[in-house]
Amino acid sequence: MRRALIFALVAGCGGNGPGSSGPDGASADAASCVTTIACSADADCAAAPGTRCNTALPVPRCQPLECGGIGTECAGPEFCSAGLVCFDEAHFGEAATIYKAGVCTPPGETRPTCITRCMAQWRPDDVLDPCTQQQATTLCQEVCAMYPAWTDACENYFTRFNANDFRFRPMFCTSFSCPRIPVECGGSNASLPETCPP
């Protein structure tokens, strides 16, 4: 059994770690981190220590953590190599939903989508806590430059949610010492790190 398990892990990983290259110098393909062990939940991966069930794959498989390279499918950031985030462009910052699958993405590539979603909360006619367009733009740039460091604001409250599963709430510029924009995770508000744009 142990020999079969080792073979399954090695066969799935192909001997290539995150960011490694194949014989032709190309990056390891999307399957380089996936074992041959099918799963539907993390409990199915108990026989393969260090793996969890990556339900984002077309056929869910047990996958070593922090293994997925750029562009590989992920059910959460734990499946991506260090420095990458599990990014779901279609749902990022729009709604609190349970584990939308994404792809492992460098954080910098998420910034344009993050800023677009953030700026969608700016209302020039907001009479309660109005922000100028310049304040809103600077606020969104600063908040999105910190992504994904602030995603703990969601994950600490709701472990079933990942970094895609939040929505920006309305901006505040006049009632606080610093302009700010909170996020909503699963129906409850969480505070982002406070920013003080000039």
Distance CA 194, CA 131 (A): 15
Which of 32 and 173 is assigned the larger pLDDT? 173
Across 11-15, 26-30, 118-122, 166-170, which has the greatest mean pLDDT? Answer: 118-122
Is residue 86 within 8 A of residue 76, CB to CB? The reply is yes
Asked if pLDDT for residue 125 goes beyond 70, the answer is yes
Strand 183-185 versus strand 85-87 pairing type: unpaired
Distance CA 194, CA 29 (A): 40
Eight-class DSSP state of 28: P
Which two three-digit tokens encode residue 111? 């910034």
pTM (predicted TM-score): 0.73
Across 30-44, 149-163, 176-190, which has the greatest mean pLDDT? Answer: 30-44
Asked if pLDDT for residue 44 goes beyond 60, the answer is yes
Asked if pLDDT for residue 61 goes beyond 70, the answer is yes
Residue-wise DSSP of 117-160:
HHHTT--TT-SSS---HHHHHHHHHHHHHHTTGGGHHHHTT-TT
Lowest mean pLDDT among 25-34, 63-72, 111-120, 147-156: 25-34
Does residue 27 sit in helix, strand or coil?
A: strand
Asked if pLDDT for residue 12 goes beyond 90, the answer is no
Residue-wise DSSP of 31-52:
GGG--S-B-SSGGGGTTSTTEE
Express each pLDDT in 149-178 by its tens digit: 777 767 665 555 555 677 888 888 887 778
Which two three-digit tokens encode residue 103? 């792809």
Q: Which residue has the tokens 């367009």?
A: 133
Q: What pLDDT score does 29 carry? A: 40
Which two three-digit tokens encode residue 63? 């996958």
102-105 sheet: strands from edge to edge: 73-74, 102-105, 85-87
Distance CA 160, CA 98 (A): 7
Express each pLDDT in 67-82 by its tens digit: 999 999 998 888 999 9
Lowest mean pLDDT among 30-34, 71-75, 91-95: 30-34
Q: How large is the average pLDDT for residues 40-66?
A: 94
- For residue 176, which phi and psi values (nearest 5 degrees)? -130, 160
